[in-house]
């Protein structure tokens, strides 16, 4: 008795097992286009009153992007609105509509603008992940300006 075949689980009927998936290829923008995208992002975040905006130059550190923009929002609704506005403004500038990750919870939203990656955080989440320190940006003390600890250096890690 022969085996009964069920419905195929493959999404692409032309794909055969072992064939690599097609990946979208990232196109590099000209320096003028990168600067324009960075300007659009900066202006949008300023218009939406993003807090503690940091731009990290990634050129020479990684090939994933040339700049990383990190900003904080007051709450989940503020972060979600900033992400929506950024997507609309990038699309209106005749640039490809960027994919957005994490907008369902708006705790940490990632917008992949290609040459510019934008992270929008709630302040608590941003302090937890501290991407500025990881990618070589300036470490900022969340208590800066509160008195004697202003301008403090990052806390020492255990065991070092």
**DSSP type of residue 115:** S
Residue 74 makes CB contacts below 8 A (sequence gap 6+) with: 51
Whole-angstrom distance, CA of residue 105 vs CA of residue 84: 13
Residue-wise pLDDT for 3-12, tens only, equals: 555 554 545 5
Residue-wise pLDDT for 43-77, tens only, equals: 999 999 999 999 998 888 888 888 999 999 999 99
Residue 14's pLDDT band (cuts 50, 70, 90): low
**DSSP type of residue 21:** P
Judged against a pLDDT cut of 90, whether residue 79 lies above it is answered with: yes
Looking at per-residue confidence, does 70 or 146 come out higher?
70
pLDDT at 88: 93
What b-and-e string marks burial along 106-135, b requiring 16 or more CB atoms within 10 Å of the CB? bebbbbbbbbbbbbbbbeebbeeeebbeee
In this prediction the pTM is: 0.67
Beta carbons of 71 and 82 less than 8 angstroms apart:
yes
- In this prediction, residues 2-23 reach a mean pLDDT of 50
- How high does pLDDT run on average in the chain? 76
- In this prediction, residues 69-95 reach a mean pLDDT of 93
Q: Which segment, 21-25, 34-38, 141-145, is predicted with the most confidence on average?
A: 34-38
**Ordered structural domains, the chain, with CATH:** 31-133 (3.30.460.10)
Looking at per-residue confidence, does 20 or 122 come out higher?
122
- In this prediction, residues 96-106 reach a mean pLDDT of 86
Whole-angstrom distance, CA of residue 30 vs CA of residue 126: 31
pLDDT at 23: 45
């Amino acid at each position: 008795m022969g085996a009964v075949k069920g419905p195929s689980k493959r999404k692409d009927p032309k794909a055969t097992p072992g064939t690599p998936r097609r990946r979208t290829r990232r196109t590099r923008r000209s320096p003028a286009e990168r600067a324009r995208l960075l300007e659009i992002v900066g202006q949008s975040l300023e218009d939406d009153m993003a807090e503690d905006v940091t731009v990290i130059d990634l050129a020479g550190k990684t090939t994933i992007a040339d700049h990383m923009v990190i900003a904080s929002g007051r709450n989940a609704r503020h972060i979600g609105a900033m992400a929506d506005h950024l997507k609309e403004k990038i699309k209106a500038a005749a640039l490809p509509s960027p994919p957005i990750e994490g907008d369902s919870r708006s705790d940490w939203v990632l917008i992949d603008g290609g040459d510019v990656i934008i992270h929008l955080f709630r302040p608590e989440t941003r302090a937890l992940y501290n991407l500025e320190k990881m990618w070589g940006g300036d470490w900022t003390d969340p208590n800066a300006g509160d008195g004697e600890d202003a301008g403090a250096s990052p806390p020492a890690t255990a065991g070092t």
